[in-house]
Amino acid sequence: MPELPEVETIVRELRPRLKGRRVTAADVLHARIVRHSDIDLRDWLPGARIIDVLRHGKFILLQLDKGWLTVHLGMTGQLRFEAPETVYTRAVLQLDDSSLLYDDIRMFGSIEAGRKRIDQLGPDALARDEWHVRLLRHKAPIKAVLLNQRVVAGIGNIYADEALFRAAIHPATVARRLSKARANKLEQLTRDLLNEAIDFRGSSISDYVDTEGRRGGFQERHQAYGREGKPCVRCASPIEKSFLAQRGTHFCPNCQRR
């Protein structure tokens, strides 16, 4: 569920509440959530001071005085302050002044100590980086390349469809065959899109809520994603849905020609 705008919304709420706080206790209710590490968070976290809260792509990074705690929300992960535990609560952090709970219905999310996996990611989609040149190195369909977090980090299925719609590029276009100008335009339109979505506190399709349980508002502004059969806002042709890179893909067959 959560892509860059949703994760950024959460990070902006976490940062002022977590910065400078000390972890007093940690509980892991479902071991599967903690991955790629032999560290037992229940032993490792207590006493740690939170220096800052950062984001890279869809990953939330808690910078601690003793290392890093990396959180990925997967499809249905949620972080909530002072919330009651549910059957889907997978971990709980007790802080010196509050508690932070990690809920995850489908458990595609993860929490890990260390920062290693971030090294595999491409530049954050909003970072100062001309990442459109990276798109041109791949011969896969442009939509698959946008979804590849090693190429550029933060774009998921919703924003890939929305970005390609704005740029009027067919999702199946071979990335390497885009002109440099079109790739550059795609990057700029993607940045605009992500920033607008952040202004609306992200998109809520079903599960996504922020740390206070509020839904986002950007789903009302989607022009392609979830609009199958509805008229294109530019030309009124019905939006089509097909499958590409094993993901539902929405586009205007008239505006986005191959």
Question: Which residues have a catalytic role annotated?
Answer: 2-3, 58, 247
Q: How far apart are CA 102 and CA 81, in angstroms?
A: 9
Contacts of 11 (CB under 8 A, 6+ apart): 53, 54, 55, 60
Q: Please, which residue, 32 or 66, has the CB nearer to DNA?
A: 32
Candidate list 48, 158, 183, 197; residue touching DNA; CB under 7 A: 158
Candidate list 147, 186, 193, 197; residue touching DNA; CB under 7 A: 147
Nearest distance in Å: CB 63, DNA: 20
Selected range binding DNA among 48-56, 95-103, 185-193, 243-251, rule: CB under 7 A: 243-251
CA atoms within 13 A on the CB side of 18: 31
The H or E element spanning position 132 is helix 132-135
Nearest distance in Å: CB 118, DNA: 9
User: Is residue 144 at the binding interface for DNA, with CB under 7 A as the rule?
Assistant: yes
Asked whether 223 and 161 are in contact (CB, 8 A), the reply is no
Q: What string marks each residue from 66 to 85 as x (binds DNA by CB under 7 A) or -? A: ------x-xx----------
Candidate list 117, 185, 214, 234; residue touching DNA; CB under 7 A: 117
Phi, psi values for residue 91, rounded to 5°: -155, 155
Buried b (16+ CB within 10 A) or exposed e, 36-50: eeeeebeebbeebeb
Nearest distance in Å: CB 75, DNA: 5
User: Is residue 204 at the binding interface for DNA, with CB under 7 A as the rule?
Assistant: yes
Q: How far apart are CA 42 and CA 26, in angstroms?
A: 5
Q: How far apart are CA 157 and CA 144, in angstroms?
A: 9
Selected range binding DNA among 14-22, 151-159, 184-192, 231-239, rule: CB under 7 A: 151-159
Q: Which residues bind DNA (CB under 7 A)?
A: 1-3, 32, 57-58, 72, 74-75, 105-108, 117, 120, 137-141, 144, 147, 149, 156-158, 203-208, 245-248
